[in-house]
């Protein structure tokens, strides 16, 4: 098969990791694979680009609404499709999902798939929700199948009248489980913790998330400053890169936080950070089923996070995680404070994390199961013809 993946952006987020892991598996399986992405790829991908995967950058494909650029991007995608004549067009993320599926009408033989990594109309202002729903319902007319990362995101698309249940498939966003289960603390652990003395080890919290507004760093740090102001025996490791870095760094330098918050930037060893940490935290406004949280429990590190739709499939409050109301950073900090003082509960959650069955998130299943869906769509079309 010739498979084309289309993304709005290629940064260090979970949807990008999911897409590239899928593309890598497909190329290794002998398929012709092309990844089209908006703008410049993050430099991480410059050094990690998988063999056998063709890459095309499309600068006009941008996340913000831009009638001129959106029209241009759609026309350029259409021209690329006409030249490549793909068997499968698999779109990811909001803008690429809309434009990429519209453009695919130029190649009637192509089966069109949209990846649901997050519910973009969930927990957003009413006007934006109406816009997203209208665009998604329109794009759905040119979609043969939807592939979601959890049953909850799939159900949301069906309940919103975007997709029919028979056209929706759930494929967990797999990753290298062995890497996280066998991780070792990083070589710079003493620097990250602020002490070489294990006896004086601070309570360590890992926050692995792209530095973008949706991840909720600023609201969380505002609460963190009230709960842990001036504490030298608590360490928050903020790992990631993104457009909010300067704003987050500025807050991290305030007197209340400068002794406890460490800006780590992008880490190529997330498993090491998670093994070092006592607990991890997510403060996102909305998520699908966050890979960072799954990776945390794979490493045996419990997670504190909002009770996102569908997370009950893996996470249990007071079992392997602490789950709090969404958009409630004070509740996140209260849960972290409780685990700092109640070490028996922390140990219980750590045991629960290590015991969590994550077989459905084996990395090989991601590429294999996604590709099997493509094959079903092609066979169905050939039978109908």
For residues 162-170, give the mean pLDDT. Answer: 97
Share above pLDDT 90 across residues of the chain, in percent, rounded to a whole number: 90
CATH number at residue 85: 3.40.50.2000
Q: Which residues pair with 147 in a beta bridge?
A: 115, 169
Give the total number of structural domains in the chain: 2
Q: Is the same domain home to 272 and 306?
A: yes
Q: Is the same domain home to 354 and 370?
A: no
Q: Has residue 385 got a pLDDT over 90? A: no
* pLDDT confidence bin for 33, thresholds 50/70/90: very high
For residues 328-345, give the mean pLDDT. Answer: 97
Q: Is the same domain home to 37 and 186?
A: no
The per-residue pLDDT for 152 is 93
* pLDDT confidence bin for 354, thresholds 50/70/90: very high
- Mean pLDDT across the chain: 95
The per-residue pLDDT for 241 is 92
- Is the pTM above the cut of 0.75? yes
Q: What is the pLDDT of residues 231-240, one digit of tens each?
A: 999 999 999 9
- 3-state SS track over the chain: CEEEEEECCCCCCHHHHHHHHHHHHHHHCCCEEEEEEECCCCHHHHHHCCCCEEEEEECCCCCCCCHHHHHHHHHHHHHHHHHHCCCEEEEECHHHHHHHHHHHHHCCCCEEEEEECCCCCCCCCHHHHHHHHHHHHHHHCCCCEEEECCHHHHHHHHHCCCCCHHHEEECCCCECHHHHHCCCCCCCHHHHHCCCCHHHCCEEEEEECCCCHHHCHHHHHHHHHHHCCCCCCEEEEEECCCCCHHHHHHHHCCCCCCCCEEEEECCCCHHHHHHHCCEEECCCCCCCCCHHHHHHHHCCCCEEEECCCCHHHCCCECCCEEEECCCCHHHHHHHHHHHHHCHHHHHHHHHHHHHCCCHHHEHHHHHHHHHHHHHHHHHHHHHHC
Full domain range(s) for residue 163? 2-174+362-384
The per-residue pLDDT for 48 is 87
For residues 288-295, give the mean pLDDT. Answer: 94
Point out the least confidently predicted range of 14-18, 58-62, 78-82, 220-224.
14-18
Q: Is the same domain home to 220 and 75?
A: no
The per-residue pLDDT for 43 is 83
Q: Is the same domain home to 197 and 308?
A: yes
Q: Is the same domain home to 285 and 159?
A: no
C-alpha span between 3 and 85 (Å, rounded): 10
Q: Is the same domain home to 246 and 298?
A: yes
Q: Is the same domain home to 170 and 257?
A: no
Q: Has residue 11 got a pLDDT over 90? A: no
For residues 282-310, give the mean pLDDT. Answer: 95
Q: Is the same domain home to 351 and 217?
A: yes
* pLDDT confidence bin for 13, thresholds 50/70/90: confident
For residues 312-330, give the mean pLDDT. Answer: 96
* pLDDT confidence bin for 12, thresholds 50/70/90: confident
44 versus 165: the higher-pLDDT residue is: 165
* pLDDT confidence bin for 42, thresholds 50/70/90: confident
The per-residue pLDDT for 68 is 97
Q: Is the same domain home to 367 and 351?
A: no
Confirm if 261 and 284 have CB atoms less than 8 A apart: no
Q: Is the same domain home to 205 and 246?
A: yes
Q: Is the same domain home to 197 and 302?
A: yes
Point out the least confidently predicted range of 6-10, 12-16, 74-78.
12-16
Q: What is the pLDDT of residues 92-151, one digit of tens each?
A: 999 999 999 999 999 999 999 999 999 989 888 999 999 999 999 999 999 999 999 999
Q: How many CA atoms lie within 13 A of 18 on its CB side?
A: 30
The per-residue pLDDT for 44 is 82
Q: What is the pLDDT of residues 187-228, one digit of tens each?
A: 999 999 998 776 689 999 999 999 999 999 999 999 999 999
């Amino acid at each position: 098969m010739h498979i084309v993946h289309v993304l709005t952006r290629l940064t260090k987020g979970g949807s990008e990791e999911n897409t590239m892991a899928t593309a890598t598996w497909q190329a290794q399986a002998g398929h012709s694979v092309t990844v089209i992405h908006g703008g410049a790829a993050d430099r991480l991908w410059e050094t990690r680009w998988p063999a056998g995967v063709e890459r095309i950058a499309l600068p006009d494909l941008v996340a913000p609404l831009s009638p001129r650029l959106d029209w241009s991007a759609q026309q350029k995608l259409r021209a690329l499709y006409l030249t490549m004549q793909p068997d499968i067009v698999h779109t990811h993320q909001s803008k690429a999902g809309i434009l990429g599926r519209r453009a695919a009408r130029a190649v009637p033989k192509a089966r069109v798939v949209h990846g649901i990594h997050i519910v973009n109309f969930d927990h957003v202002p009413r006007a934006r929700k109406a816009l997203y729903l209208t665009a998604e319902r329109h794009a759905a007319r040119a979609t043969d199948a939807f592939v979601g990362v959890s049953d909850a995101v799939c159900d949301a698309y069906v309940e919103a009248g975007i997709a029919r249940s028979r056209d929706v498939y759930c494929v967990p966003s797999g990753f290298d489980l062995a890497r996280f289960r066998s991780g070792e603390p990083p070589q710079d652990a003493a620097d990250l913790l602020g002490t070489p003395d294990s006896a004086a080890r601070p309570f360590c919290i890992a926050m692995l998330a792209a530095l973008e507004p949706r991840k909720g760093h600023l609201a969380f740090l505002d609460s963190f400053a009230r709960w842990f102001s001036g504490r030298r025996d608590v360490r928050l490791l903020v790992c990631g890169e993104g457009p909010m870095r300067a704003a987050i760094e500025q807050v991290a330098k305030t007197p209340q936080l400068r002794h406890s918050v460490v800006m780590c930037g992008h880490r190529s060893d997330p498993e090491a950070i998670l093994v070092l940490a006592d607990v991890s935290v997510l403060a996102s406004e909305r998520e699908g089923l966050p890979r960072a949280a799954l990776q945390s429990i794979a490493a045996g590190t419990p997670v504190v996070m909002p009770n996102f739709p569908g997370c009950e499939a893996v996470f249990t409050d007071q079992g392997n995680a602490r789950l709090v109301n969404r958009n409630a950073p004070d509740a996140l900090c209260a849960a972290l404070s409780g685990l700092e003082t109640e070490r028996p509960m922390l140990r219980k959650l750590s045991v629960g994390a290590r015991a969590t069955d994550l077989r459905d998130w084996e990395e090989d299943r991601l590429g294999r199961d996604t590709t099997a869906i493509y094959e079903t769509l092609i066979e169905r079309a050939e039978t109908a013809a």
